[in-house]
Chains A and B, each alone.
Chain A
């Protein structure tokens, strides 16, 4: 079934690209050498295997969950969970609850799952460094500094909006905001817009530069 093969191929390529961006991932991957993590994610019927060597191979599993568990090798760990609780898996404190609720089933060598989760969660990718390969250090640094500033301003504005709404609800203030507050608020919005415009200009400049290389 080429569609399924296309999916595993894409996943495999994506995972290996990500790992290649983090120079330290090789050490974490070495701990998993020769092991396999089998994953069943409801509502998908077919499970996937991540087979670890000096890279990660992604295979579609032949058998359904119970048959897979019955054949489990000593170098394998099988996880069954649901798509909707996937986000909670990264919080270790939630695992026991998920297991008790039947939303997570783990069979086989638990350490494999822990190492695998560590492999991806500890990914430390220096995006600025990645960008600098194409654009040179200075441009990359400026772009990231600007992006960081824009993000901060944006968060500031969002905080203010949140706080404003909060106050309005709690203190039942009148809907008409104080004039000074409005002026301050629009100043911040202006600053944000400036930042975004500068960022935008920087990106189109980069794009041109990339096209010329």
Chain B
């Protein structure tokens, strides 16, 4: 299978050795990936929001807004924003669920969580928010805890994605839904080429200029290519037990929003 235009023999399915996984385009030991990902986000945390705006030309805000539109979130809901990083989604959810609801911002990375906590506190949002350092693969919450789980641009960094989806399924209440917003596979050849040029040539340079860290942004570009495409991810949702699974391509499939329900 080759859905990766740059290194075609290195797709997620091609990890022959069971104890190996990919870190960008490199093969690394599974046990090491989490700390390597942590290294990336430790190093980008401070400039993360600025880089997001620059890299996506602000469009990531619209993708996130669309995610919230599809969330069905209401007053009183309990929301888990997983791999929530600097808290973009959590801020809006906090207002929407109101004082009778709650929002948990969870991330594996302490630096990202700290940037997120400070940002939300500066926005005056505290009362219904809490912060948990947690690995998506082994969520430290009881079964059936949340009405909604969102994961924006987080899943591709997780070592065993299927474990994460299973774990999310467990903590969702029956009737609850999962939304995963993630880079995906552009639907047209032309867009795909343009996008490759952008992410492998321009993006690392921007990372170098703004955050003085070309390597981390090289990793981001590579990890995007290694992420399962739309149909594969939909299949993984179903394997975890989700129902009524669907996805919407945004900006020509550069990003896709996947949705699944637990009944």
A residues whose Cβ falls under 8 Å from a Cβ of B? 1-2, 4-6, 8-9, 33-34, 36, 51, 53-55, 57, 59-62, 73, 75
A210 nearest CB across to chain B (Å) = 26
Complex formed: what's the CA distance from A51 to B92 in Å? 11
Given the contacts A57-B92, A59-B69, A9 and B61 also touching, CB distance less than 8 Å: yes
Q: Does B142 contact A (CB under 8 A)?
A: no
Are B69 and A62 interface neighbours, CB within 8 A?
yes
Are A60 and B69 interface neighbours, CB within 8 A?
yes
Q: Which residues of the other chain, A, contact B74 by a CB distance below 8 angstroms?
A: 73
Given contacts A33-B98, A34-B98, A62-B72, 10 further A-B contacts (CB under 8 A): A1-B66, A2-B66, A2-B251, A4-B66, A4-B69, A5-B63, A53-B95, A53-B96, A53-B98, A73-B75
A68 nearest CB across to chain B (Å) = 11
Q: Which residues of the other chain, A, contact B75 by a CB distance below 8 angstroms?
A: 34, 36, 73, 75
B186 nearest CB across to chain A (Å) = 14
Q: Is the interface of B mostly helix, strand, loop or mixed?
A: helix
Q: Number of B interface residues, CB 8 Å? A: 21
Given the contacts A2-B250, A73-B75, A59 and B68 also touching, CB distance less than 8 Å: yes
A54 nearest CB across to chain B (Å) = 7
Q: Does B59 contact A (CB under 8 A)?
A: yes
A6 nearest CB across to chain B (Å) = 6
A67 nearest CB across to chain B (Å) = 12
Complex formed: what's the CA distance from A5 to B28 in Å? 39
Complex formed: what's the CA distance from A5 to B257 in Å? 14
Are A51 and B95 interface neighbours, CB within 8 A?
yes
Q: Which residues of the other chain, A, contact B96 by a CB distance below 8 angstroms?
A: 51, 53, 57, 59
Q: Does B99 contact A (CB under 8 A)?
A: yes
Partner of A9, one of B65, B72, B248, B251: B65
Q: Which residues of the other chain, B, contact A75 by a CB distance below 8 angstroms?
A: 75
Complex formed: what's the CA distance from A61 to B75 in Å? 15
Q: Does B1 contact A (CB under 8 A)?
A: no
The 7 nearest A-B residue pairs measured at CB: A5-B62, A53-B95, A5-B65, A2-B62, A60-B69, A34-B98, A5-B66
